Chains A and B, each alone.
Chain A
Amino acid sequence: MTALYALFDNAQAARRAIELVRAAGVPHREILVLSNRPLEGFDEGRSRATRQWLVATGGGLVGLAFGTALTTLTQTAWPLSTGNMPIVTWWANLIIMFEMTMLGAILATCGALLVFARLGRSRKVYDPAVSAGQILVGVERPRPEQVGELQRALRAAGAAVRTLE
């Protein structure tokens, strides 16, 4: 079985379902919760959030290095005097370096989001009712011996159980 799940109307009902599924012996990581809006209190992703900030900072540093190299190295390679200014005008280059830093951070953040949120890969378990407002609580690939207990737990939380083969 690919997945076993039920749909709930609101967050309280979904919360009860999660507790019951937990009590049936499923670890927190294996519980699948799908919703069409962010629901707080489920994902303990603090360390992963920090990782996103680190990726953004890393991207910014790459951008900074690129901007510095682009301006300083090319100005030295083809020195053209303008307005009695030095050949490498670091004041002015700061502007290009700044923009490239921010661009690096922005692009790194978006790229990292695609990876961290596993976007772009084929969907496995999904129900269109989620986008109409229902909250899906279920388990992907449940162990065969757990199926009965899970079905009881979800029904106890008050919803019709569905399966995905």
Chain B
Amino acid sequence: MTDRAELARLDDLLRPLERTTWRFYALVAGLAVVVLLGAVAWVSQMVIGFGTTGIAPPIMWAFYITNFVFWIGISHAGTLISAILRLVNAGWRKPVTRCAEVITVFALMIGAMFPLIHLGRPWLFFWLVPYPNRRLIWPNFRSPLVWDFFAIGTYLAGSVLFLLLPMIPDLATIRDRTTGVRRRIYGALALGWRGTAEQWARLETAMQIMAVAIIPVAVSVHTIVSFDFAMAPVPTWHSTIFGPYFVAGAIFSGIAALIVVMAALRRSLRLEAYLQPLHFDHLGRLLLLMSLLWAYFVFAERLTTWYGNDSAEIAVLMQTQRGGFAPLFWTMIVCNLVVPVALLAPRRLRTIRGCVIASCSVCIGMWLERFLIIVPALGHKYLPYRWGTYRPRAVEITITVATFAAMTLLYTLFAKLVPVISLWEWHGGERLARSPQPTAMPEKQLTDMRQ
């Protein structure tokens, strides 16, 4: 590998950091306006009262909790790609890892906002933190919402660190290419990274450990989110399948979001040489697999409910099969199963465009899926006198749209400050020792060589 090729690659990947056009400012300004509208909507909800939303008994959770589950689900993109593929040594994951990890961090941050937004008294959210006090305030560790707090907190801390650790060598590279204030900031963040052989070995071991640790955390997070529903005696919520069902759905929507983000980055940052059709093909196949897995869960769940013939559960089931929610249900099936299988199964159609269309369809379908789990069930609980309907109001729609803008805004700002493709994970397998010496070589490298 020559110096020139390396420098050209660094130039390509660091160009967004080193050159800014008016388009960037226009995009940031536009997104910031939408996010600001969302903030205004939330403040108005707090000042005027929660009644400005469409929430009404018996449907006490709707758009906000749908968004919560949706964004936490999206956050499973990073973990799957980074951690699982890292552990199975799939080389094609390397340019994709940081894109995915960034999605995880920002999706978690946004998702974690919604438990605050949906509170009746959000200024008291800190009572979920177990801090010593004399006011007889203490979190209830039996409550799934407290489990949410601990799980999402752990996952967020883990994901941020999982993102930051492999960023350190890249921050050192940027430090060496900038001057002035930026150099000092990047230098401070790079923590004096030099790139000694020992540092690389320690970093790689640390990433292995993090990958092994973050996967069970990710699985537990969405399982615990599903427990928000499964632990309540609401017809069709109280199901043992919810844990695996939600995790599969999360990975499904996460891959879809990743494909969309990657395509957007590829186009806007001119990364065609780095995010190749091969990557989209592999992710597209994973998306197809998850689509079939999702369909399997939905089928098993619904067939079991139908056979069970419990009157309350049948009432809820019929809402989505024949009642008022049927159009949304069938849209969801088309979006989550028909479109992905049609576009991703035939190899000729599994192009970048095909993958992106399928992914957008899946994002819509998975949002609908969360909505259809929550609202029809709450609207048809055990006492028919208290059955009800739900219609979102402006404040909920505004905040929902604003979170999509917030995600895009955060990602845009990140791509301006840090390269979205890892600079150092590109390489692989360069050796400094002439031949394998069994006594002198660490086992990890022996295994790498065998694969």
Contacts and interface: CB of A to CB of B under 8 A. Distances in A.
A123 B194 contact: yes
Interface stretch (B28-36, B153-161, B396-404): B153-161
Contact of B198 (A15, A53, A114, A117): A117
Given A15-B432, A132-B7, A133-B3, A36 B213 contact: no
A133 B1 contact: yes
A153 B441 CA distance: 25
A4 interface: no
Interface string A131-145: 111100000000000
Interface in B195-219: 195-206, 209-210, 213-214, 216-217
Interface string A17-61: 011000000000000111111111111111011001100100000
Interface in B108-154: 130, 136, 138, 140-142, 146-147, 150-151, 153-154
A133 B213 contact: no
Contact of A42 (B158, B165, B197): B197
A46 B442 contact: yes
Contacts of B423: 36
A105 B10 contact: no
Contact of B199 (A106, A107, A117, A133): A117
A99 B220 contact: yes
A130 interface: yes
Nearest to B9: A133
A70 interface: yes
A26 to B, nearest CB: 15
Contact of B141 (A19, A48, A89, A105): A89
Nearest to B146: A96
A56 B444 CA distance: 18
A120 B200 contact: no
B426 interface: yes
A120 B209 contact: no
Contacts of B198: 43, 45, 48, 117
B213 A109 contact: yes
Interface centre among B1, B142, B146, B206, by most chain A C-beta atoms within 10 angstroms, is B142
Contacts of B138: 74, 78
B6 A14 contact: no
A113 B161 CA distance: 11
A37 B192 CA distance: 16
Contact of A102 (B213, B427, B440): B213
B442 A113 contact: no
Contacts of A92: 141-142, 147
Given A52-B209, A82-B140, A46 B443 contact: yes
Contact of A45 (B193, B202, B427): B202
Contacts of B200: 35, 37-39, 43
Nearest to B4: A133
B7 A93 contact: no
A51 B370 CA distance: 44
A110 B445 CA distance: 22
B394 to A, nearest CB: 37
A41 B201 CA distance: 10
B60 to A, nearest CB: 19
B203 A113 contact: yes
B448 to A, nearest CB: 7
Contacts of B177: 131
Interface in B217-256: 217, 220, 224
Contacts of A78: 136, 138
6 contacts: A37-B424, A40-B433, A41-B445, A48-B198, A92-B142, A103-B158
Interface of B: 1-3, 6-7, 10, 130, 136, 138, 140-142, 146-147, 150-151, 153-154, 157-158, 161, 165, 168-169, 172-173, 175-177, 191-206, 209-210, 213-214, 216-217, 220, 224, 423-424, 426-427, 429-434, 440-445, 448
Given A92-B142, A105-B213, 20 more contacts: A15-B433, A32-B196, A36-B172, A36-B195, A37-B169, A38-B204, A39-B200, A45-B202, A74-B138, A75-B141, A95-B151, A98-B216, A99-B150, A100-B150, A102-B158, A106-B214, A113-B165, A117-B199, A119-B168, A128-B176
Interface of A: 9-11, 14-15, 18-19, 32-46, 48-49, 52-53, 56, 70-71, 74-75, 78, 80, 82-83, 85, 89, 92-93, 95-96, 98-100, 102-103, 105-107, 109-110, 112-114, 116-123, 125-126, 128, 130-134
